[in-house]
Amino acid sequence: MHKLPLFDQGFASRISAAFEDFLNIAFELNWKTKKINPDDLVWELSLEEDFYYLGILSKLEGGVTAYALILMDLSSADELINTLTNEHIYLLDEYKETAMQELANIVIGAFSSEVEKKTGERVDYQIPLVAVDLPMALADAICSKISETNDQEVLLLDLKCPMPLIYIKILFFYILGCEKLA
């Protein structure tokens, strides 16, 4: 049976710091761990049901199996695209999608590194998938996986930058009935 590192302040802070270093933008970090009913995911993430969001999903495998979901409203996605490419998101073309995948690689790589440090086992991750849709559609893609967490806590990160105004929500969770590391 694999041992899972506990989510804690240091874990959340190092993931946030990787994001900030890559973008050279300071974010306010709020984080929590909790058990989530998959049917309540949109509500738990405080997403507006009628707005479109950019979602980035990646699966991590190796020493543990985990998922990472990054969500942001289109206004925040536009600010990030503009920061990364000096262009706006009018159309999510391959160039901008690749920029968002690279951004996700930084965050997911930081998560992967933290898990590797605590478990001593290698963790690889898939190329992040990028989609724009309503929150229920984005949540549906991952709700069945959340139900496989065997009632374990998930890590929710809220990142906010007041200038330019950017809100990002990141969700990490493990799959398998694993024992936690202290």
Establish if 30 belongs to a structural domain: yes
- For residue range 141-174, what is the model confidence (pLDDT) as tens digits? 777 777 766 666 788 889 999 888 899 988 888 7
In the predicted structure, residue 181 carries a pLDDT above the cut 60? no
**Cα–Cα nearest to 171, from 151, 182, 157, 152:** 157
Whether the pLDDT of residue 3 is over 80: the answer is no
- The more confident residue out of 182 and 106 is 106
- Label residue 42 by pLDDT band (50, 70, 90): confident
pTM of the model: 0.85
Whose CA is closest to 104, among 84, 86, 120? 84
Q: In the prediction, which pLDDT does 160 show?
A: 93
Give yes or no for a contact between 60 and 15, defined as CB atoms under 8 angstroms apart.
no
Q: What are phi and psi of 153, to 5 degrees?
A: -75, 150
142 in a structural domain:
yes
Report yes or no on 124 lying in a domain.
Answer: yes
Tokens of 84: 């990364």
Residues 6+ apart with CB under 8 A from 160: 27, 28, 30, 166, 167, 168
DSSP state of 6: P
Domain presence at residue 13: yes
* Residue 179: pLDDT over 50: no
> What is the domain extent for residue 144?
3-176
Residue 27 domain flag: yes
Counted domains in the chain = 1
Task: Report, as an integer, the average pLDDT of 12-24.
Answer: 89
- Does some domain include residue 182? no
First to last CA, the chain: 15
Instruction: Read off the pLDDT of each residue in 35-40 and give the average, rounded to a whole number.
Output: 76
- The domain that holds 141 is classified in CATH as 3.40.1550.10
Task: Quote the mean pLDDT of the chain.
Answer: 83
Tell me the average pLDDT across 72-84.
89
Residue 181 lies in a domain: no
Over residues 90-143, the pLDDT tens digits come to 777 888 889 889 989 998 998 888 888 888 888 899 989 998 898 888 887 777
- Is 50 inside a domain boundary? yes
Nearest 5°: phi and psi at 2? Answer: -75, 155
